[in-house]
Amino acid sequence: MHLRLALTHEAWPLTAGALLAIVMPTLHAQEVAALPSVVITGNRPERGLPRQRTFESDSARLLADQPGVNVYEAGGVSSLPVMRGLADDRIRVQVDGMDLMASCPNHMNSPLSYIDASQVGQIRVYAGITPVSAGGDSIAGTIQMDSVAPHFAAEGEAPISSGRIASHARSNGQAWGTNLRGDWASSTLALSAGTAYTRSKNYRAGADFKPAGPAAQGQAWLDGNEVGSTAFQARNDDASLALHTEAHLIQLQLGRQHIPFELYPNQRMDMTGNDSTQVNLRYIGQYDWGELKARAYQQQVRHRMDMGENRATYGTGMPMDTRSLTQGGSVSADIDLNPTQTMRLGAEGQGYWLYDWWAPVGIGMMAPNTFWNIDYGTRNRIGVYGEWENRWSADGTLLLGLRHDRVTANAGPVQGYNATSIWADDAAAFNARDRQRSNPHWDLSALATWKASSNLALEGGLARKTRSPNLYELYPWSTQPMATLMNNFVGDGNGYIGNPDLRPEVAHTLSLSADWHDAPQQVWSLKLTGYTTQVSDYIDAVRCASPMCGGAANVQTRNGFVNLSYLNQSARLQGFDLSARRQLGQSTDWGSFSLNALTSYVDGVNTTTGDHLYHQMPLNLKLALTESLAAWTHTAEYRAVAAKTAVSQVRNELPTPGYALLSLRSSFERQQLRLDLTLDNVFNRAYDLPLGGAYAGQGASMSTTSLPWGITVPGRGRSIDVALSYRL
């Protein structure tokens, strides 16, 4: 449940005071893992797993309570993670060890959408300083989300079996879902299979939501506060076969996704189909010298977009189709040099093929040919790394790593809908140029940790990281506004043109952390992390000045949607994450009480132009008061977000007002049964999502002037959520 109060300058001293109240009684405290990863593990839906797990249709939201991590709002199962102001492809995302990527000009099929929240068994988050063994072709960090690991019967015992059935419902949007899982295992063989299904209608904003300003003129909202293009339906199936001996494990995983539709309030198109198949084979072996790992995987994607039910169509619609194939593999060895030193060596490779085409529509300007947005796009990567870990004392460690990758990209010749100059001129210019690119990457990382005392642990690190542009930053070629508007994966309502001359981004990051806690680390903790990242050749946007894009008017407008192209510039991001925890006490009658807090801030600036970077989360705070008594756990959560005033001028990004929300949650767990109840947004307040982007969820969406400008995507109003699970 969320309680939102308008967050003003007067409200922040109150929320800051609440945070300090956790720490002041001890003033030595702070808690966070000494390593740069946050690990959430578990093999069944029990306390300790992410709280959203029982309700969530979107796996990316399981990360929302991690320091330095937020999510871009997108479709109902496809949010995009943000790490300290850097998002999407700037983060390396691995699902069961597979490097997956979005195959869509709007990035609708995000990597984390390929695993349902109910299937998640372990999450590792590397924010900031990422070891080279977990990095590569990214500048923000790494997210590793894995399915539940296989379990085997003890040697000599009879086979074991288990199962789970769960269902959830949410009143806002009339959402519901269910998931089933069955497992069987002997001492050497483990079989597992599961399915998860979820769907929702459009959700409603808070009761007092009213579109304001010039953007509201002429805007016909669907039904009062109903937010258009937020409905979805999705199904994910998975199966696993694992063979195990005393020192070796071989596992084959199969995955299938079918999404009949997923509507997008901050895009001009909707997903009308996404089908994916995944095959993933891995090996882990224990040897006298250490551990050997190997993996090979493949994913095939068939993706479709068109106008959903809340949009006005163009003639018979606007079909857009994508096919992709991803194949990859890796091998790594952890070599124990001695009891205190480990050397990690590894090699990785990945091939990616993409076809993006738009069928002709009617007999006008969008006919009679098929429009090829990207034809035979390829992006291949091969990398090697070495990493040395020295546990030089019981109180300190040092981790040093060096990595080299090479990323190559190319695309075939293209064509427009017809041979008129509106399409042919841009296509001819694109086809005449050299489109092949080859970029070397050199990454380095150094991380040191030191236990200064029983109450204080320190951590510091330096890293250089590199990322090459993706295919949708390089190769979309048309400057015609209808085509540019279809190439947008940031949800700002603008149109984008690719730039084949983009260079790789290179980021240098410095991060320092102090972690105070009580000696046994049971009562209180306080952790503060400060960081700064300088990015050379940062891929940002500039206004398109060609007549086809709108010429001078497109360059000068400050209150409308615009057409943009990509350009290498430079950027700086700096900020802090602060987390705190305090056990407040316990009694026989009332159980135990604890208070947790998390606050973060990031400031991102384009140092070439002085503009703010797009989609930076403003200062925010979460406070959670939890009571545990017998089988019951109750939590009251307060979330506050400051007004967002630092916005990207080049994109005409919209500011958002501050807000505060209250959330109330209860869970009951006894033996195999678990019940979860949540009242979200208790007072049904209206608020704008700071990372929601521009609202484009209804009406005609084919041109920069067909939709009213100036409305951000509103957040969800009050909702009663119920989840029930039973383990067999």
pLDDT in tens, 169-184: 999 999 999 999 999 9
3-state DSSP assignment of residue 134? coil
Region 618-638 average pLDDT: 96
Convert the pLDDT of each residue in 675-699 to its tens digit: 999 999 999 999 999 999 999 988 8
* pLDDT at residue 464 in the model: 98
Does 1 fall in a domain?
Answer: no
Distance CA 29, CA 531 (A): 20
In this structure, what are the phi and psi dihedrals at residue 131, rounded to the nearest 5 degrees? -55, 145
274: part of which helix (H) or strand (E)?
strand 270-287
Nearest to 142 by CA among 186, 104, 195, 89: 89
Residues of the domain holding 108: 11-233+242-727
Which CA distances in Å does 226 have to 309, 405, 576?
A: 14, 47, 36
Assign 706 a pLDDT band (cuts: 50, 70, 90). confident
Region 665-678 average pLDDT: 95
Which CA distances in Å does 718 have to 72, 173, 534, 686, 695?
A: 21, 10, 41, 9, 20
Does 327 fall in a domain?
Answer: yes
Does 3 fall in a domain?
Answer: no
What single letter denotes the amino acid at residue 369?
A: N
The enclosing domain of 204 has a CATH number of: 2.40.170.20
Does 5 fall in a domain?
Answer: no
- Mean pLDDT value across the chain: 90
Maximum Cα interatomic distance, the chain, rounded to a whole number of Å: 80
Lowest-pLDDT choice from 25-39, 341-355, 644-658: 25-39
CB atoms within 10 A of CB 542: 16
Does 32 fall in a domain?
Answer: yes
Which CA distances in Å does 199 have to 272, 310, 360, 696, 713?
A: 14, 17, 31, 21, 20
Does 471 fall in a domain?
Answer: yes
Region 249-272 average pLDDT: 96
Q: Is the Cβ–Cβ distance between 196 and 176 less than 8 Å?
A: no
Nearest to 337 by CA among 391, 283, 395: 391
Convert the pLDDT of each residue in 521-535 to its tens digit: 999 999 999 999 999
Distance CA 458, CA 270 (A): 47
What single letter denotes the amino acid at residue 673?
A: L
Does 87 fall in a domain?
Answer: yes
Distance CA 54, CA 46 (A): 9
Cα distance between the two ends of the chain: 30
Distance CA 648, CA 493 (A): 13
How many distinct structural domains can be found in the chain? 1
Does 690 fall in a domain?
Answer: yes
